[in-house]
Amino acid sequence: MTITIYHNPACGTSRNVLEMIRQSGEEPVVINYLKAPPSREKIVELIAAMGGSVRSILRERGTPYAELNLDDPKWSDDQLIDFIGEHPILMNRPIVVTPKGTKLCRPSELVLELLDNPMEQFTKEDGEVVTSKGRDRV
């Protein structure tokens, strides 16, 4: 299975998702999207594959979201995509692409739905334990 993760190594959720993928027996293509930002076309493709909106992938915390006043409904989808292109940190992470689908994996256990062989139990960096049975938190 080919898996791609749009990853920020400074993000705990992104690190947890990457480790969950690896523990499932897969080595994903890791794209550090801050160093290698996706093209406008790729951003549009990812949003379409997730079935969401541009706003659904915007990250507020730790970004210029407030400074740019991006909560203002005046901004069109095209304009918001342009902002993501200018400021890749605005794209929420991690986004994972597999043959089973594409998801923004927040919380990190959402990635389990995209894996062929998710591990039975995983301990996140913060000590929280998640299980693959029913995708329930312990």
pLDDT digits (tens, 9 = 90+) for 33-56: 999 999 999 999 999 999 999 999
Please state the domain count of the chain.
2
3 state SS of 58? strand
Q: pLDDT band at 1, cuts 50/70/90?
A: confident
pLDDT recorded at residue 135: 45
Active-site residue flag, 105:
no
Task: Mark whether 101 and 129 lie in a shared domain.
Answer: yes
Task: Mark whether 105 and 125 lie in a shared domain.
Answer: yes
Catalytic residue, chosen from 3, 5, 11, 97, is: 11
Task: Mark whether 16 and 46 lie in a shared domain.
Answer: no
pLDDT recorded at residue 9: 96
Burial bucket for residue 95 (CB in 10 Å: 0-12, 13-18, 19+):
buried
Task: Kindly give the pairing relationship between strand 4-7 and strand 121-123.
Answer: unpaired
Structure tokens at 132: 């693959």
Mean of the pLDDT values across residues 76-93? 97
Q: pLDDT band at 136, cuts 50/70/90?
A: very low
Q: Which domain holds residue 129?
A: 1-33+93-138
Residue 82's CATH number: 3.40.30.10
